[in-house]
Structures are given as structure tokens and as C-alpha cells.
């Protein structure tokens, strides 16, 4: 029930906003803040109530939906999605809080935004593949409309359509894959848990796996922005209003990664290995290539979009190495990166709102005008280049260790190189250009966050980022058991030696 109420609150709020007349502007915002705030606070009870060491999902709430085809509303969390749900709830709250920049068509805006919030929370809470998919789409479409109506820049139409088409391709591949999973085993259920159980009992035929695995993998890959299917991301994030970019880049993009962990790893272990080796390379390309591109960007929004893609590369890497350290790191990094990307896009939005563009050539010395924003921005960028005590570091180093453990020596070296140097190059460059140096004329009218309400979203996200960075065990202890369960079939199949040596240690 707790999960259901967390994910229904924003949707309910959306309906209320829709029902109210458009003239009650303040009310729309108040409702949005209230519902997402309550959802965010409720999500903390998940953390408190979660009991470690128990197999399977907790907080399960199940409603028969279409029993005839094995489709049920079923939500629940285990260690893997617990953090993601909480992250989604808090980022949603922050996204609503930064939305004061919207001054027109507020009703429609908050309606769409709340749909998005409900969608992202629901995506990660769902244990049913169709709900999982549908919630993602529910959050996706508002992004498109929001870019169109409240977006920025001249290319917004193009970006919005590019994003819509790209993501539809990905989503359709995922949908096809999901239906294949449903149909292939004769299980006739969309329940992830049951499905994993069924396929572990009698594995899916290899001839089918050969098709379904790449279909799902690349479908999810497109949704996440796996190079070369990433062009939508920078364009869309640059054009999107802050809240949409925050939720999309921060939370929604993790859908694909989460999907790989949930649907591919436990269900198709037999054909996994060669694809994961390819994925390691693709992940590295993502990290390095996008990192290098980020160095060249003139626009801050573009830079953080590419940096976000680069970080996603690390997450892919953590998944692809197929061991518990790497995967735990990947999931941890998903959460950390969610907060980080949300922060970056919120800050980008604030700067855009104050100055009117985010070109790093024309803005400088902003620290003098916006000490608070500047402080948060530099902390966030530092977090982005993997500074300890921010969540990203923890995730990244676990991924490095995991990569090494799977005997990928060069990938480890390259990943470390990228994580430590390339990311530092572009992040520091941004600080240098935007915050340091002389105050440029264009930035002279900028004002800092005026009051606590304006500061709140940044503070909340920053606290989240730091607290998981300083006290990671609160999440990792919950993540690692389900991760081991997820990897169990893979490891027992592909690396019998490793399991033995692990247990001996």
C-alpha cells in the first residue's frame, strides 16, 4: 500500500490539477508541491521499513488487473529498485520545486509534470513488465510536450521530435522484447519475479534468446543513450525545461539500465556472455567518446548532457562485467547519478532563467553574483568528476573494482582514466568558465536564489548526494543480496571457477 500511495499521489495530484480552473495558478503549484513532497517523505519510510536479509520483494501490493492474460498490478521493492524509487520520488519533488520558472499555461504544465512524476516512480516500483513499460511511456510523453511548449532555443521542435522518434524506437523494441519474454516460455505472465523463476527452472530456448536478448539490450540501450543511439539526448536535454530534463535525465533514463538488470540478466543467462563482452566495449566508448565530446561543448547544457551520457557508460560497464561488485556499483551509480543529473539540470535551468543562455563563452564570474548557486554548482560538478563523499565516487570505484575482477584489465584502466581525468577536464572547465574569472556583462544581472524555497531543491538533492556518498552502506547492504540473486544464474553458468574462489574467500 505504501508504494501504491507513493506512486498514486502524483497521479492523483495531476487529476486534481486537471479538474481545477486554469486561473488558480498558485493552487496548481501548491498541489504539485504537496503531493510530490508527501510522496518523497513517504518514500523514506520504504528505506526505514526495508528489512535486509530477506529474499524477494517487500512492500508488495498486488491487484489483479487482467488476470486472463497474466497481467497484474504488482508493485514491490527489493534492494535494486528501493533506492531508485526513493531517488525518483525526491527528484520529482525537487523538479516540482524548481518549476517556479514556468509562468504560462501552469495548469497544463503541472498536470504533465505530475504525470511524469507518477510515471517515473511507477516505472521503478512496478514488478509487472507491462506496468513497468507503460509507466515509462506515461512519463515520456509529457517530456515531449513540455519540450515543445516550455522548451528553450530554436531547435526545440526538432529535438522534441528526434527524442520522440528515437525513444519510440527503443520503447517498441523493449515492448517487443517484453512480449517475447511473455510468449517464449509459455509462462503467460508478465510478472518479473515469476518470469525469472520460470526461466531459471527451464531456460528459454537458445534460438529465441539469440534474438530476444539483443532486441531488449539495444532497445534499452537506445532509451539510455548508448552510443551511437544517443543523439536525442543532448538535443532534448538542451531544449527541455529544467523539470523535464531533471526527471528525464535523472530518473527516467535509468529505466533502460534497470530493465537490463531486471529483465536480461536473470532471464537469459545462457547467451549473455558474448553480448556483455560487446557491451563492455560499447560502455567504454560511451564513457570516453561522450566525455571527449563534453570537453568541446560551448553550451553548458550540452556539456552536462554529454557528461550524463558518459556517466551512463560507467553504469553500463558495471552491468556488463557481470559480478556483484560491478553490478552493485552500477545500481548505486544509477541512484547517485540520478541526483547528480537532476542537480545539474536544475542549476542549468536557474542559470538559463537568469541569463537567457548557457553558453560558456559568454558567461563568466558568476560566483560573484550567485554565491549559493555557484557553491552548489561547483560541488555538483566536483561530484560529477567522481569526488569522494559524493555518491558518484562510491558507484564508480565499485565499478572499477568490479571490472577488474572480471579480468577486463584494459577496460578497467580506460574506465579509471575516463572517470578520473576526462570527467575532471570538462567539469573543471565548466567551473573555470562559468564561475571563475571576471564577471561578464551578460551575467551582471543574475541574482542568487532568493529565499529558502528557491534554495530547497538544490539543498535537498545535494544532501541526498552527499549522504549516500558518505554513508553508502545504507544502500549497498540492501543492494548486494538481490544483486547476488540476480547474478546467480549467470555466474553459475559462465564462471564456475569464480564462484568457487569467491566462496573460499
Partner 1 sequence: MTIILFGILFLPIFSALSITFFSQKHPSISAGISIAISCITFLLTCVLCAMTQSQTLPIEIVYTWLSVGNLSVDLGFLVDRLSLIMLFVVTGVGSLIHIYSKGYMGKDPSLSRYFASLSIFMFSMIGIVLANNFLMIFIFWEMVGLSSYLLIGFWMTKGSAADAAKKAFLCNRIGDTGFLLGIILVWSCLGTLRFGEISNLLSTNPAAFSSLATITGLLLLCGVIGKSAQFPLHVWLPDAMEGPTPVSALIHAATMVAAGVYLLARGFDIFALSAAWPQGLDWLKFSTLDVIATIGAFTALMAALIAVQQNDIKRILAYSTLSQLGYMVMAIGLSYPIAAMYHLTTHAFFKALLFLGAGSVIVALHHEQNIWKMGGLQKRMPITFWTFLIATLALCGIPPLSGFFSKDYIVAEALHKNAYLGTIALVTAFLTTFYMGRLFFVSFIGRTRSKVSDHAKENSTIITMPLILLAIASVFAGFIGIDSYLMPHYSSQSLANTNMVFPYPSIDQAPDNWFKMLIYPFKHAPMAAILSICAVIAGGFLSFIFYFNAKNDILSSKFKTVSLWLKNRLYFDELYQNSAVWLQDKLALICDFIDRWIIGGIIIGIIYRIVDLIGRFCRFSQTGNIQTYTAIFVLGIIVLSYWVINW
Partner 2 sequence: MNFAAFQLETGLAALVILLLILDGSCKQSLHVAKGYAAGIVGLGILLILSFTYLKTPVVIPEALIQLDTMALGFKRMFLALGLGFFIINQNWIARRRDNFISYQSIFLLSLIGMMLSSSVNNLLMMFLTMEIVAVSFYVMVGYNKKTEQSLEAGVKYLIMAGLASAIMIMGIAFVYGISGTLDFNELAEFTPDENSRDAYWMGIILIVAGLGFKISAFPFQYWAPDVYQGTSAPTTGMLASASKAVGFILLARFACAAMPLGSPIITTFWAILAASSILYGNLCAIPQRDIKRLIAFSGIANAGYMMLAFSVGGTMAMSAMFYYLIVYVFSILGAFLAISLIETEVGSTDMDALSCLPQRAPFAGFLLAVSMASMAGIPPLAGFMGKFLLLKALFIRGMADTPILILAIVALIGIIISIYYYFLVIRCIYWPANQAYLLRTSGSKIFLTSALYLAGVISLIMMILPGIYPELLLDGTDWMASTLGELLQH
Contact footprint for partner 1 (CB under 8 A)? 162, 228, 231, 235, 289, 292-293, 295-297, 323-325, 328-329, 365, 367-368, 375, 382, 385-389, 393-394, 397-398, 400-401, 404-405, 412-413, 416-417, 420-421, 424-425, 428-429, 431-432, 435-439, 472-473, 476-477, 479-480, 502, 505
Residue 325 interacts with, from partner 2, partner 1, none (CB under 5-8 Å by kind): partner 1
Residue 298 DSSP one-character state: S
Within 10 angstroms of residue 142's Cβ, the number of other Cβ atoms is 24
With respect to partner 1, which residue has the nearer C-beta, 102 or 462?
A: 462
With respect to partner 1, which residue has the nearer C-beta, 212 or 303?
A: 303
Residue 172 interacts with, from partner 1, partner 2, none (CB under 5-8 Å by kind): partner 2
With respect to partner 1, which residue has the nearer C-beta, 65 or 401?
A: 401
With respect to partner 1, which residue has the nearer C-beta, 33 or 325?
A: 325
With respect to partner 1, which residue has the nearer C-beta, 219 or 469?
A: 469
Residue 173 interacts with, from partner 1, partner 2, none (CB under 5-8 Å by kind): partner 2
Query: What does the longest C-alpha to C-alpha distance in the chain come to?
Result: 68
Q: Mind giving me the DSSP string for 413-470? A: HHHHHIIIIIHHHHHHHHIIIIISSSPPGGGTT-----SHHHHHHHHHHHHHHHHHHH
CA–CA dist 181, 187 (Å, integer): 9
Interaction between residue 300 and partner 2 (CB under 8 A): no
Closest to 131 in 3D by CA, of 86, 189, 68 = 189
From candidates 12, 24, 134, 428, binder to partner 2 by CB under 8 A = 134
State the cell numbers at 479: 543492494
| In the complex, least distance from residue 489 CB atom to partner 2, rounded to whole angstroms | 22
From candidates 173, 319, 363, 381, binder to partner 2 by CB under 8 A = 173
With respect to partner 2, which residue has the nearer C-beta, 14 or 94?
A: 14
Residues 306 and 217: beta-carbon distance below 8 Å: no
Element housing 89 (H / E): helix 79-97
State the cell numbers at 56: 524477494
Residue 144 interacts with, from partner 2, partner 1, none (CB under 5-8 Å by kind): partner 2
CA–CA dist 170, 253 (Å, integer): 12
User: Among the candidate windows 30-38, 165-173, 371-379, 394-402, which touches partner 2 by CB under 8 A?
Assistant: 165-173
Which residue, chain included where needed, has cell 509507466?
A: 135
CA–CA dist 38, 33 (Å, integer): 8
Interaction between residue 164 and partner 2 (CB under 8 A): yes
- The whole-angstrom distance between residue 130's C-alpha and the CA centroid of its chain comes to 19
Within 10 angstroms of residue 274's Cβ, the number of other Cβ atoms is 9
With respect to partner 2, which residue has the nearer C-beta, 173 or 336?
A: 173
Interaction between residue 176 and partner 2 (CB under 8 A): yes
Interaction between residue 206 and partner 2 (CB under 8 A): no
Q: Which residues pair with 362 in a beta bridge?
A: none
From candidates 175, 387, 428, 442, binder to partner 2 by CB under 8 A = 175
| In the complex, least distance from residue 91 CB atom to partner 1, rounded to whole angstroms | 23
CA–CA dist 423, 65 (Å, integer): 46
CA–CA dist 223, 235 (Å, integer): 14
State the cell numbers at 100: 517556479
With respect to partner 2, which residue has the nearer C-beta, 176 or 375?
A: 176
Cβ neighbors of 471 (< 8 A, separation 6 or more) are none
| In the complex, least distance from residue 212 CB atom to partner 2, rounded to whole angstroms | 10
Residues 219 and 177: beta-carbon distance below 8 Å: yes
Residue 71 interacts with, from partner 2, partner 1, none (CB under 5-8 Å by kind): partner 2
Q: Which 3 state secondary structure label does DSSP give 234? A: helix
117: left (phi over 0), alpha (psi -120 to 50) or beta: alpha
State the cell numbers at 66: 487482467
With respect to partner 2, which residue has the nearer C-beta, 192 or 398?
A: 192
From candidates 20, 38, 62, 137, binder to partner 2 by CB under 8 A = 137
With respect to partner 1, which residue has the nearer C-beta, 151 or 329?
A: 329
Interaction between residue 62 and partner 2 (CB under 8 A): no
Residue 223 interacts with, from partner 1, partner 2, none (CB under 5-8 Å by kind): none
Which parts of this chain interact with partner 2 (CB under 8 A)? 65-69, 71, 108, 130, 133-135, 137-138, 141, 144-145, 148-149, 157, 160-161, 164-165, 168-169, 172-173, 175-176, 179-180, 182-184, 208, 211
Amino acid at each position: 500500500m505504501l508504494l501504491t500511495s507513493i506512486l498514486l499521489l502524483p497521479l492523483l495530484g495531476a487529476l486534481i490539477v486537471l479538474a481545477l480552473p486554469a486561473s488558480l495558478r498558485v493552487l496548481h503549484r501548491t498541489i504539485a508541491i504537496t503531493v510530490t513532497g508527501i510522496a518523497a517523505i513517504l518514500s523514506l519510510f520504504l528505506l526505514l521499513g526495508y528489512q535486509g536479509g530477506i529474499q524477494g520483494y517487500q512492500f508488495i501490493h498486488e491487484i489483479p488487473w487482467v488476470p486472463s492474460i497474466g497481467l497484474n498490478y504488482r508493485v514491490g521493492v527489493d534492494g535494486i529498485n528501493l533506492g531508485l524509487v526513493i531517488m525518483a520520488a525526491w527528484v520529482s519533488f525537487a523538479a516540482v520545486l524548481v518549476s517556479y520558472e514556468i509562468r504560462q499555461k501552469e495548469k497544463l504544465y503541472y498536470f504533465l509534470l505530475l504525470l511524469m512524476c507518477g510515471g517515473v516512480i511507477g516505472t521503478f516500483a512496478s514488478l509487472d513488465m507491462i506496468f513497468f513499460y507503460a509507466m515509462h511511456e506515461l512519463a515520456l510523453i509529457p517530456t515531449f510536450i513540455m519540450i515543445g511548449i516550455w522548451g528553450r532555443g530554436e531547435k526545440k521542435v526538432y529535438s522534441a521530435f528526434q527524442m520522440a522518434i528515437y525513444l519510440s524506437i527503443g520503447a517498441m523494441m523493449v515492448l517487443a522484447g517484453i512480449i517475447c519474454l511473455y510468449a517464449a516460455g509459455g509462462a503467460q505472465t508478465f510478472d518479473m519475479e515469476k518470469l525469472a523463476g520460470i526461466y531459471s527452472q527451464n531456460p528459454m530456448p537458445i534460438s529465441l534468446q539469440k534474438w530476444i536478448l539483443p532486441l531488449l539490450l539495444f532497445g534499452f540501450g537506445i532509451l539510455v543513450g548508448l552510443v551511437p543511439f544517443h543523439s536525442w539526448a543532448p538535443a532534448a536535454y538542451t531544449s527541455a525545461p529544467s523539470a523535464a530534463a531533471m526527471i528525464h535525465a535523472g530518473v527516467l533514463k535509468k529505466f533502460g539500465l534497470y530493465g537490463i538488470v531486471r529483465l536480461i540478466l536473470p532471464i537469459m543467462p545462457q547467451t549473455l556472455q558474448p553480448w556483455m563482452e560487446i557491451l563492455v566495449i560499447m560502455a567504454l566508448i560511451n564513457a570516453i567518446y561522450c566525455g571527449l565530446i563534453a570537453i568541446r561543448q560551448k553550451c553548458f547544457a550540452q556539456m552536462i548532457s554529454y557528461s550524463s551520457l558518459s556517466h551512463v557508460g560507467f553504469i553500463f560497464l558495471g552491468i556488463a562485467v557481470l559480478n556483484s561488485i560491478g553490478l552493485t556499483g552500477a545500481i548505486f551509480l544509477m541512484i547517485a547519478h540520478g541526483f547528480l543529473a537532476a542537480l545539474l539540470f536544475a542549476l542549468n535551468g536557474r542559470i538559463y532563467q537568469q541569463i537567457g543562455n548557457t553558453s560558456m563563452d559568454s558567461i563568466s564570474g558568476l560566483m560573484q553574483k550567485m554565491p549559493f548557486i555557484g557553491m552548489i554548482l561547483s560541488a555538483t560538478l566536483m561530484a560529477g568528476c567522481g569526488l569522494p563523499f559524493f555518491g558518484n565516487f562510491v558507484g564508480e570505484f565499485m565499478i572499477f573494482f568490479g571490472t577488474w575482477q572480471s579480468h577486463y584489465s584494459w577496460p578497467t584502466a580506460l574506465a579509471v582514466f575516463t572517470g578520473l581525468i576526462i570527467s575532471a577536464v570538462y567539469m573543471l572547465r565548466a567551473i573555470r568558465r562559468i564561475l571563475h574569472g571576471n564577471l561578464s556583462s551578460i551575467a551582471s544581472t543574475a541574482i542568487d536564489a532568493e529565499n529558502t524555497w528557491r534554495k530547497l531543491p538544490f539543498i535537498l538533492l545535494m544532501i541526498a548526494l552527499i549522504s549516500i556518498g558518505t554513508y553508502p552502506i545504507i544502500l549497498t547492504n540492501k543492494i548486494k543480496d538481490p544483486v547476488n540473486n540476480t547474478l546467480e544464474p549467470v555466474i553459475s553458468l559462465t564462471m564456475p571457477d569464480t564462484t568457487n574462489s569467491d566462496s573460499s574467500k
